Structure 1
Amino acid sequence: MDGPGPFVPERNSGFLLFSPDAVGSGHQRFALLHLASLGIRAKGVAVVRPTPEQIAALYGKNRRGRPPEAEDLLVDRLFAAGPSLAYWLVFDGRPETPSLTDTLRVLKGPSDPAGCLPGHLRHILGAENRLMNGVHSSDSPEEASAELDALGVTEFGAVPAATDGAAPNRPSSALSVACLVRRRVLDAVHVTAVPEVDALQVRAQELAARRTKSAVTLRALDELWERQHALVERARPRDWRAVTDSLAEVAEVCSKRFDPDALGAAVAPFGVRPTDWEDLVLRCQAATGVPAAWRARA
């Protein structure tokens, strides 16, 4: 099926670039559904794998005239870690309404998700820090054309029909990293043969994967992990004390210190290691501090 072709910089046209954290988690579909409810529809889509030079051009206003800083390098690493999706969006609204690029700039919310409100795209995406904030938009139709040129996007393809298939599940939250790494430790020592342990693990992963995490959710996750530690101790797998110490250290690192080196050291005795993506998630969180949504627990 032929796609819609090249972007047309009109008042009712705009584009959003969903970065690999939004695409890998599958959360961009929630943002698109919200936009559709406002009468903003996706006309085309392009898969983008930008180079560091293209990212520097995209964020030129922030980087111009200086060498890349530590956070810039993390952003470069983020975009190199997986595909991004550029969506051509159109709004069939009244002529007196603001341009779509103006509307999208407001809808996406502040760069730091700490300042986002329900209804902002970054809140809907579950973004937790300003480095992995999920989405970029332009300031004008003309800037949209220039940024798409910088990204090498010359043609948009047709937007695939929505499906009920399984969504991607790449973690964009440090708490999800904790759950996935703990799962691998449990698998390594065969504790999952205890049904209660496995059931608690599944429930913890569901809580950690929520796009927004209330204080109630965070307390429930802490309690689930404590119950799981007690069950592991009762099951007495090999080196059970080391297992429970490791599980506790993973929870601590991924909810307070965001230290990928400490995480690796905690799980190495069981032949487990964090993935490059999990390492990146923790480093981005370490650079920006505890997510605002979590602070109510403190």
Structure 2
Amino acid sequence: MSENQLRKETTEPQQTAKASTTLPDVETLSSLTNVPYVDTHTHLHYVLDRLPEKFGVCTYQDLKERYCPPNLEACINVLCDPLSFTSDEIFPNTHSDWKVMANTSFIYLAAGVHPHNSKDYNDYVENKMRKILQHPKTVALGEIGLDYHYNISPRDIQKKVFIKQIELAKELNKPLVVHTREAEQDTFDILIKYVPKDWKIHVHCFTDSPQFAKDLLDHFPNLYIGITGVVTFGSARNTQETVRYVVPFNRFLLETDAPYMIPSKLNRNKKSKDKVTICHSGMIPFVAQRISELMNKDIDEVMQAARENTRNMYERKTIRY
């Protein structure tokens, strides 16, 4: 999700959402499992932007300690808009400052220009992004890729910028976080042409066809499929079938893509004023619960497998947990 999109969503409608949102209590989020976990893809700076003052959340530590279950170990916070790359200059010493994120003990970073913002890519943006990518707590380049659902940036520019950032990842020896939506063939063609077969790849928030997932997994032995709260949606047939029939137990990752993709069970049978409208990293157990149902596994097994998969994707020595 790009920051430009976020701004469109956070004018007057956002104020209504902020006034009416609720958050699940820690007991609810802790009720499913106690296995430690990592949220492998989140935008916690957007979460803090959206949370009303009534929750009293001023820092990432506040959010973790007061609203997340104690088994949350770490998060990979994704910066995917050019504005975020200069946040240390524009919003110094605030939660929007990427250096503040990096200095928070449980937060790691990924940085890359989202396909929606491909039209804004230039040398200045790349140089600012490089600075973040060279920070020791930045574990990947992304999210980058193609999004043909919205076409906010022209498709030819999306492809050029995707390739350019893949080359940068190879130069810096960074794993890739890939965003792909309704662009299966072009995404696959670019990946197999430009990315070494053994490269570490996290295909984030997978919603495309099960066959596409199989093609990716078969070609790239170190590619992982990221599963968000989308898997809990009644309409998410592709994601559910991918989890049930395609993804091996050692090739999936748990993520929230917060503040988006709220697990559906958290809002079941609730009135509008009681609904949760903001996702955060504490909601991962509800994603794992749905995966456990689809895979016919115990939820603790799913959590343990995801934790080991995260270690393998992002290197045991990189994320300390």
TM-score by length of 1: 0.26
More strand by share: 2
More helix by share: 1
Larger CA Rg, structure 1 vs 2: 1
TM-score by length of 2: 0.25
Higher relative CO (Cα under 8 Å, sequence separation at least 6) belongs to 1
